[in-house]
Amino acid sequence: AQRVTQPEKLLSVFKGAPVELKCNYSYSGSPELFWYVQYSRQRLQLLLRHISRESIKGFTADLNKGETSFHLKKPFAQEEDSAMYYCALSGLGDSNYQLIWGAGTKLIIKP
Amino acid sequence: AAGVIQSPRHLIKEKRETATLKCYPIPRHDTVYWYQQGPGQDPQFLISFYEKMQSDKGSIPDRFSAQQFSDYHSELNMSSLELGDSALYFCASSSKGLAGGRGETQYFGPGTRLLVL
């Protein structure tokens, strides 16, 4: 079964500290993994996708197929990083491209 | 750059009323997805359309229906509204044609916040 697990509902770190938001997935095949961010009262925005291997706003994520993980990392947290972060997986069925969502992690950056 | 447009942004209805939410995808995008996000919850997939045909169906109640029109905009029709339908309804669009149909990026609209009283 396709499943995305974000084990932490809330993560609170101090400004300048490293951040790691965990994401594990279950999928039989080659998944497409994404991180979406939702700032307070704003729309969901794509933060990054594993296939592009870009670093957005200082965040990076590496797909580890052995551990079936796609953890989101940033070396130095900033206050404006406070938001909800969702890990998502794209199904690769015939025409099934819906995103399978993790439950989200609320990141709070303390000053 | 043009983004996904949703209307209305806010909607207040009473129980048993009907509501219609509209979604205008990014130009040249051929696929539209609808998600429902309850308070404090992760988004739940409802339904999607590709080239005006339903392509996938998720946890959409029978009271809801949706379609994609010739100009690729989509409407989500909700009838016999219940209190539990109060949520943020996101629309997203993507282009399967350009991406070759593999895990293409979905771009989200601002959402319609529905409150059922």
Q: Do B56 and A42 touch (CB under 8 A)?
A: no
State CA A68 to chain mean position distance. Answer: 13
- Residue A95, pLDDT score: 45
Residue contacts between A and B (CB atoms, under 8 Å): 63
Most distant CA atoms of chain A, gap in Å = 47
Q: Do B102 and A98 touch (CB under 8 A)?
A: no
The answer to whether A51 touches B103, Cβ cutoff 8 Å, is yes
- DSSP assignment, residue A28? S
Q: Which of A49-53, B10-14, B95-99 has the lowest mean pLDDT?
A: B95-99
Say if B104 is an interface residue toward chain A (CB within 8 Å): yes
Return the closest-CA partner of residue A34 out of B23, B94, B110.
B94
Q: Do B107 and A46 touch (CB under 8 A)?
A: yes
pLDDT tens track of chain A, all 111 residues? 778 999 999 999 999 999 999 999 998 777 888 899 988 767 788 898 887 777 788 999 988 988 999 999 999 999 999 999 999 987 654 345 567 888 899 999 999
CA closest to B94 among chain A residues? A97
CA distance A51 to A17: 27
